[in-house]
Structure 1
């Protein structure tokens, strides 16, 4: 799904090449090819990028009681790169229904920093963990679609077990 826009564009190019070859050879394109071209032309690749999402990992898993767990999160707008955002971290002990706020981190550029199109921003924060439970990372992502700018809160979860 992440590369749907690229796939649609590649299909449109391939069908265009087939039509060009058919017209050079003097043959009319088959009905299936004409349908494929009409369908591909009606689908705009820019309309179908992946929705904003978050990659998140808490490690090590499992962790010793009182040991340090490092949280790494990256929020993406659904295109190739990611953007600098503040990521908030929450923890819910096993058996509880409530997530408690533990802290936040500003994402920083980690790779391809010279290119704003594919730059990779992630946030890292370390916490002491004494109980088994679930970590949650959230971020507010601003992204562009054909109908304008949108904002969405993305979240991801990771459960870490504590061993004695």
Structure 2
């Protein structure tokens, strides 16, 4: 996990050091702007060795770790990150220092954020989350780092890194399902039709399994009665025998890209 050397130098030193983007030492703490986000791309990780830092990360807090966004939404959503270190990052003979968060998707580096020192041993910043971000789980790796020496041409330039604190957040697409069970009321033994439409990310979703459940009045137990698949227009339809008055529900289970959605409809059954 040596990628901080490549990524964090860019926003602060690129203007004055031509080779900065090809490296990755931490940006100077005083100059690093909050919430700096890098291009969403896979970055090769160099093999240079880190040395153990003289301080450690003792706590990390994300204000939010679950986001439900349409793919058309912009980057107005944010998670505020607060990290506490066991002490201040060293300043003597230190060329650059920062606390950063590497973001990984499917194991590869996807993005990064630099935190700023908000006083004492506390570092803070915002993680923008965009609708254009693919749905799924993102792993985070937060750590502090500093570089001793006089500059990039110092042969004794040495990299130090704290412990790494791992975390995660999810990006999912909004989904919805409807349910209408007819006829209402129904005669006992008659055929009920349960139908509706399932959509995700604002569009009808085909080839999706919809579970149909029933709970009789006075009971607390749900029984699955059918599982059907949506058609090209996101519509589903199930026929079931009416046996008792109660509540029907349509359930589309959660996946890595959307949350579970449920719709209900009560039907009275008469003899």
Same fold (TM over 0.5): yes
2:204 is matched with 81
2:152 is matched with none
Which entry has the higher C-alpha Rg, 1 or 2?
A: 2
Contact 1:73 1:87 in 2 (8 A): no
Q: CA RMSD in A?
A: 2.9
Question: How far apart in 2 are the matches of 1:108 and 1:141?
Answer: 19
Question: How far apart in 2 are the matches of 1:71 and 1:152?
Answer: 22
Question: How far apart in 2 are the matches of 1:46 and 1:162?
Answer: 47
2:192 to 44, 51, 69: 69
Q: Which consecutive unaligned segments of at least 5 residues does structure 1 have?
A: 9-43, 110-119, 143-148
Moved runs in structure 1, 4+ residues, more than 6 A?
44-47
Question: How far apart in 1 are the matches of 2:197 and 2:203?
Answer: 12
Residues 63 and 46 from structure 1, CA distance in 2 versus in 1: closer, same or farther, beyond 3 angstroms?
A: farther
Give, in angstroms, the shift of residue 73 of structure 1: 2.6
Question: How far apart in 2 are the matches of 1:59 and 1:102?
Answer: 15
Q: Say how many residue pairs are matched.
A: 111
Contact 1:74 1:122 in 2 (8 A): yes
Greater relative contact order structure (CA < 8 Å, 6+ sep): 1
Residues 82 and 122 from structure 1, CA distance in 2 versus in 1: closer, same or farther, beyond 3 angstroms?
A: same
Give, in angstroms, the shift of residue 46 of structure 1: 7.3
Question: How far apart in 2 are the matches of 1:68 and 1:80?
Answer: 30
2:229 is matched with 106
Question: How far apart in 2 are the matches of 1:46 and 1:151?
Answer: 15
Contact 1:62 1:162 in 2 (8 A): yes
Give, in angstroms, the shift of residue 51 of structure 1: 2.7
Residues 141 and 76 from structure 1, CA distance in 2 versus in 1: closer, same or farther, beyond 3 angstroms?
A: farther
2:267 is matched with 160
Higher helix share: 1
TM-score for the superposition, normalised by structure 1: 0.57
2:153 is matched with none
1:133 to 246, 254, 264: 246
Q: Which consecutive unaligned segments of at least 5 residues does structure 2 have?
A: 1-70, 74-129, 134-172
TM-score for the superposition, normalised by structure 2: 0.36
Residues 46 and 81 from structure 1, CA distance in 2 versus in 1: closer, same or farther, beyond 3 angstroms?
A: farther
